[in-house]
Amino acid sequence: MYMQSTNPFETYPETIQKIYREKHKCPTIWKYDEKYINGSCEANVDTKKCEYWENEECALGYCEYCNGWRWNEYFQEKPTDEEINDLILKQLIKCEMAKKEKRKKRNEIIYGSNKNNGQLITLCIDKEYIQVPKLATEIISVIRSTDYQCISDSKAVIELYGENGWNPHIHIVTKKLKQNGQLAQLFRRKFVKQKYQCYRVDVKDMPYESALAYVMGEKESDKIEMLEKDMEYRKKNNLQDVYDI
């Protein structure tokens, strides 16, 4: 499952480019001149409609668009393709930041005091290592057999692709029993060594239900391509989609 993107700068870039590229056109309206309107508020016979500026600043001659002082609402002068793409990128980033802030506030409303009752642990595996399926399943097996007292109601997923391509890693969701730093240190001591080829361990607070949904494959649209590649790889290499810890 994944959430459909609500960022128009990501979903409709060509439409946005067209809007940014077009020169502003001040609106006009067609109506009868008042001097040709009779006492019954009807136009005289053969009277034709005339075109008038809709905005006062256009009619009075101080409109910045009519006078050529601005190209459109977004650019002072006619924009280049590079300027348009740069603005789209800035707006896309702004929307993504707003979306993250909205998600944060949503979690606070929904989960309240439980907004940080879960944790997402990420173990990053060396990109150059070849036997990832065997290694990843061994790591999960070790975590299971160790019976850590610092994790609870845990599940794990092996993911292979990131925004920049091949990026093998393991996500583990757990109820929060220890502080992030303590949990990260425990996993680093165990797995950041040559035997397990892990070069980084990250732990961050999340609502447990959100972290669980993430591990179960509920991703946003910008990650759907990576999700599909992960599923294909796991199927090809006989890996489970989700592991109980």
Which residues form the domain of 27? Answer: 2-108
pLDDT in tens, 133-187: 999 999 999 999 887 888 999 999 999 998 889 999 999 999 998 899 999 999 9
Mean pLDDT of the chain: 86
CATH of the domain at 207: 3.30.70.260
Please say if the pLDDT value at position 222 is more than 90.
no
Residue with tokens 């009519």: 66
Beta-strand ranges (E) seen in the chain are 2-3, 28-31, 50-53, 118-125, 155-162, 165-175, 198-206, 219-220, 243-244
Residues 139 and 104 in one domain: no
Rounded to two decimals, the pTM is 0.58
Say if residue 26 is in the same domain as residue 68. yes
CB atoms within 10 A of CB 45: 7
In Å, how far from its chain's centre is CA 169? 20
pLDDT number for residue 2: 43
Q: Do 103 and 155 have their domain in common? A: no
Give the chain's domain count.
Answer: 2
Distance CA 25, CA 72 (A): 8
Residue 164 burial by CB count (10 A; 0-12/13-18/19+): exposed, middle or buried? exposed
Q: How confident is the model over 31-78, as pLDDT tens digits?
A: 877 666 665 666 666 677 888 888 989 888 889 998 889 999 999 999
Q: Identify the residue with better confidence: 222 or 152.
A: 152
